[in-house]
Amino acid sequence: MEIFTTIADTQSYLKKLTQQGKSVGFVPTMGALHRGHISLLQQANLENDIVACSIFVNPIQFNKQEDLLKYPRTLNEDIAKLKEVACDVLFAPSVDEMYPEPALERFDFGHLDKVMEGKHRPGHFNGVAIVVKKLFEIVNPNRAYFGLKDFQQLKIIQTMVSTLKLNVQIVPCPTLRENDGLAMSSRNIRLSKHERSVAPAIYRVLNGIKEKAGRISPKNAEEWGISQLNKFDGMNVEYLSIVGADDLLPISEWDEKKSVVVCTAVNLGAVRLIDNLILNHHIEE
C-alpha cells in the first residue's frame, strides 16, 4: 500500500493509474477503522481496479472542540487493517495540508441540513461537504462508498454531487452491526462497560418503532421511542425523528408508498451515537 500525506503526491500517483484506464474506488474516513469501514473497502475492491482510502479527522465538521479532541486516533492500527484488506492507496494529510487557508465555502442544502444532525450540530454538514468535495478533487474517484448509518450525510453528499454535477458515483452501503444490534461506529470504543451494555437498546427501540409503524401515529411512535430510550441509565435522546427517506421532511401520517426512515442521536454518558432504520416493510435496508 502507498501512503501519502501530501495532495500533490496523491494526485500524481492516482493520475498515472487513471491514465492507464484503471478505475478508482474511494472510501473517505476519519480513521479508527472498524468492520463497517472494512466492508466499504471490500465493496470498493470488488467494483474497482484501485482502492483508495483517506484518513483525516476533519476539524471543520466538529461543532464542539471537545468532541474533536476526544475523537479516537489510531493511525498505526488503521494502516495494518488497510494492508489486510488490500487497500492500494492511503491519503492521510495534516490539517495544514488540507486547509492552508481558512475554508470559507458555503453550501446551500435547503431543508436537508436544517434538521436532525444539521439542527443539533450547526455547521457540521457544511464542513463535511467542504472536505468531501476537496477529497474528491484530490482522489478523482469513479466511485465513492458511504455507509447508510450516516443517513443524512449520505443525502447531503448525493445532493452535493448532483448539484455540482461531480463525476463520481456515490455507492450507499448497509450499516454493519455488532451481534447485539449496536451499529458499528468509531465512537463505540469510548463507551464504558456499562454504556456498552445498554447501547444496543437504540437498535431494539428503532425496531420497536418499525413494529408500531402504521398502528400508532408517527408522532406517538416518536414519543414512545424517546421515552423508552430515556429510561436507560445515562441515556439522553437528542432527537428521534420519523422522516421521509428522500426529503427528510417529518411525516404526519403513514404512507405505504413513501419510503420512511427513523433517525436518532443519543448521548450515552459523554459519547454521542447515531443510528437509523428504514421503516417501510416493503423496502428492505
Residues binding ligand PAF (CB under 6 A): 28-30, 58, 61, 128, 131-132, 150, 153
Instruction: Judge whether 111 counts as a catalytic residue.
Output: no
CB closer to ligand PAF out of 106 and 257:
106
Q: CB 52 → ligand PAF: shortest distance, Å?
A: 13
Q: CB 58 → ligand PAF: shortest distance, Å?
A: 4
Q: CB 30 → ligand PAF: shortest distance, Å?
A: 4
Q: Report the distance separating Cα 232 and Cα 125, nearest Å.
A: 30
Q: List the catalytic residue out of 37, 111, 124, 281.
A: 37
CB closer to ligand PAF out of 10 and 228:
10
CB closer to ligand PAF out of 29 and 142:
29
CB closer to ligand PAF out of 59 and 269:
59
Say what the alpha-carbon torsion angle 111, 168, 277, 235 is, to the nearest 10 degrees.
-70
The three-state DSSP-derived secondary structure of the chain is: CEEECCHHHHHHHHHHHHHCCCCEEEEEECCCCCHHHHHHHHHHHHHCCEEEEEECCCHHHCCCHHHHHHCCCCHHHHHHHHHHCCCCEEECCCHHHHCCCCCCCCCCCHHHHCCCHHHHCCCHHHHHHHHHHHHHHHHCCCEEEEECCCHHHHHHHHHHHHHCCCCCEEEEECCCECCCCCECCHHHHHCCHHHHHHCCHHHHHHHHHHHHECCECHHHHHHHHHHHHHCCCCEEEEEEEEEECCCCCECCCCCCCCCEEEEEEEEECCEEEEEEEECCCCCCC
CB closer to ligand PAF out of 128 and 221:
128
Q: CB 55 → ligand PAF: shortest distance, Å?
A: 9
Q: CB 46 → ligand PAF: shortest distance, Å?
A: 21
Q: CB 204 → ligand PAF: shortest distance, Å?
A: 24
Beta pairing, strands 235-244 & 143-147: unpaired
CB closer to ligand PAF out of 187 and 225:
187
C-alpha cell at 133: 468535495
Which amino acids are annotated catalytic? 37
